[in-house]
Amino acid sequence: MQENKENNTTDTAGYLDMDLLRFSTAGSVDDGKSTLIGRLMYDTKSIFEDQIEAVEKSSKSRGDEHINLALLTDGLKAEREQGITIDVAYRYFATPKRKFIIADTPGHVQYTRNMVTGASNVDLAIILIDARKGVIEQTKRPSFIASLLQIKHVIVCINKMDLVDYSEEVYEKIRKDYLSFDAKLEIPDIRFIPISALNGDNVVDKSEHMDWYKGPSLLWTLENVHVASDRDLIDGRFPVQWVIRPQSDEYHDFRGYAGLVSGGIFRKGEEVVVLPSGFTTKIKSIETMDGELQQAFPPMSVAMTLEDEIDVSRGDMLAKINNQPTIGQDIELMVCWLNVTPLKLGGKYTVKHTTNEARAIIKEVKYKVNVNTLEKNEGDKEVGANDIARITLKTAKPLLYDPYRKNRNTGSLIIIDDFTQQTVGAGMII
């Protein structure tokens, strides 16, 4: 391996200015996803000698011809034995420009559940297509899930180009097939890159084998895609997470409402409404241990103090007076069922939403969606693991919510089984 220095940041000032991109990788079995991640980490020198040595050793004992880069990412024993990834695994690498967090999701049976989990926190999704196979049903699933989860940027990597003689025709056909299917989806930014993860073509550097491809490499795209404006900077939403009341003489009267800004920009002195009570007041100060701030925006964790003494507790929300969330108990949502025990129509569950929690009944299953064809099925109301369905809930107390499409923080919820305490459903409010 080469020296590690050139690609790492030793310059502290530069490093402190780096931003963060979270992305997921999805694809079907054997499309080379683990190899691609291994390649990105290997080529950006994010893998260390002892890791390479361990992988070389394992590759040899398995009888693999090359260093099997997939072994770097397949973490758990069972996976190594079966040669598949079971769960969402997180990987990290950095270039001088950006730090990257990869949610690596597996491509087999539990696929939908894991992909939804991995995709829930990302800015961008990489979808892999095997150039020999083209757009098949299994390609459509991750695309649909990316659309459902409102991921704004998708990079379709057409992989294994080395096995189709780096053919432009093959690439173009897959691109067209994908775009005709994609018309049904809501993804604002889609890009296509022909790659060979095994050989490194167009992964970090431009390939010498595909002169016909004029676009940038995958890494360049990941470094440059603009994601900061994807956050909701309009709808002021501050779910109160914890009330800070110091038991000290110095801060005797301090009452700070701590939380993470989930939407909009809050400014000192601004009028806000406390929900659900509806009292209005002004922001007296925005506090952090590093000093007072003039404004706070997503995803900052701060503590706010208010001008008036109002009863505010966890689960309440501060919002702008002229832009408030919906307050309601009848909630319609798309749900991804995560558990092997099927959804019980009329069953009682606990719902977690922002910093709030409520008992809820599932009132209706409207339809299920076939994740391969995107067809709605109104006849089938059996919602089991990995199914996606449109349902309605009634909560025991009002939730303060927005449509998921508008705000991922105030539009998402999880459903918890009261008997097993398991997280059984992931909901996106319509």
Partner 1 sequence: MSSYNLSHLDQLESEAIYIFREVAAQFEKPVILFSGGKDSITMVHLAQKAFWPAKIPFPLLHIDTGHNFPEALEFRDNLAEKYKVNLDVGLVQDSIDKGTAVEEKGINPSRNTLQSITLLEKLEEGQYDAAFGGGRRDEEKARAKERFFSHRDDFGQWDPKNQRPELWNLYNGKKAPGESFRIFPISNWTEMDVWQYIKKEKIDLPSIYFSHKREVIKRNGTLIAKSPYNTLLDGEQYEEKVIRYRTLGCMTITGAVESEADTLDKIIEEVAAARQTERGGRADDKRSEAAMEDRKRQGYF
Q: Which of residues 47-76 bind partner 1 (CB under 8 A)?
A: 48-51, 54, 58, 73, 75-76
Per CB under 8 A, the list member of 60, 62, 82, 90 interacting with partner 1 is 90
In angstroms, the CA 159 to CA 195 distance is: 5
Residue type for position 154: V
Total residues interacting with partner 1, rule: CB under 8 A = 86
Residue type for position 306: L
* Cβ(389)–Cβ(365) below 8 Å: yes
Is position 188 an interface residue for partner 1 (rule: CB under 8 A)? no
Is position 260 an interface residue for partner 1 (rule: CB under 8 A)? yes
Is position 267 an interface residue for partner 1 (rule: CB under 8 A)? no
Is position 409 an interface residue for partner 1 (rule: CB under 8 A)? yes
Positive or negative: CA dihedral 74, 79, 85, 90: negative
Q: Looking at 26-34, 79-87, 129-137, 193-201, which segment touches partner 1 (CB under 8 A)? A: 79-87
Q: How far is the CB of 175 from partner 1 (least distance, A)?
A: 31
Is position 40 an interface residue for partner 1 (rule: CB under 8 A)? no
Pairing of strands 124-130, 153-159: parallel
Q: How far is the CB of 421 from partner 1 (least distance, A)?
A: 4
Per CB under 8 A, the list member of 29, 190, 204, 233 interacting with partner 1 is 233
Select 99 or 191, whichever has its Cβ closest to partner 1: 99
Q: Write out the binding residues for partner 1, residues 316-345 only, by CB under 8 A.
A: 338
In angstroms, the CA 26 to CA 48 distance is: 25
Length of the chain equals 430
Per CB under 8 A, the list member of 187, 204, 293, 300 interacting with partner 1 is 300
Q: How far is the CB of 423 from partner 1 (least distance, A)?
A: 5
Per CB under 8 A, the list member of 133, 187, 216, 297 interacting with partner 1 is 297
Locate 71 and state its tokens: 């072994």
Question: Can you say how many angstroms the Cα of residue 85 is from the centroid of all Cα atoms in its chain?
Answer: 18
Locate 149 and state its tokens: 């989860």
| Distance separating the N- and C-terminal Cα atoms of the chain | 50
In angstroms, the CA 26 to CA 157 distance is: 10
* Cβ(203)–Cβ(211) below 8 Å: no
Is position 25 an interface residue for partner 1 (rule: CB under 8 A)? no
Is position 77 an interface residue for partner 1 (rule: CB under 8 A)? yes
Positive or negative: CA dihedral 352, 356, 359, 364: negative
In angstroms, the CA 333 to CA 392 distance is: 6
Per CB under 8 A, the list member of 9, 147, 341, 370 interacting with partner 1 is 9
Is position 231 an interface residue for partner 1 (rule: CB under 8 A)? yes
Is position 217 an interface residue for partner 1 (rule: CB under 8 A)? no
Select 124 or 161, whichever has its Cβ closest to partner 1: 124
Which residue from 80, 141, 136 is spatially nearest to 109, judged by alpha carbons? 141
Is position 244 an interface residue for partner 1 (rule: CB under 8 A)? yes
Is position 122 an interface residue for partner 1 (rule: CB under 8 A)? no
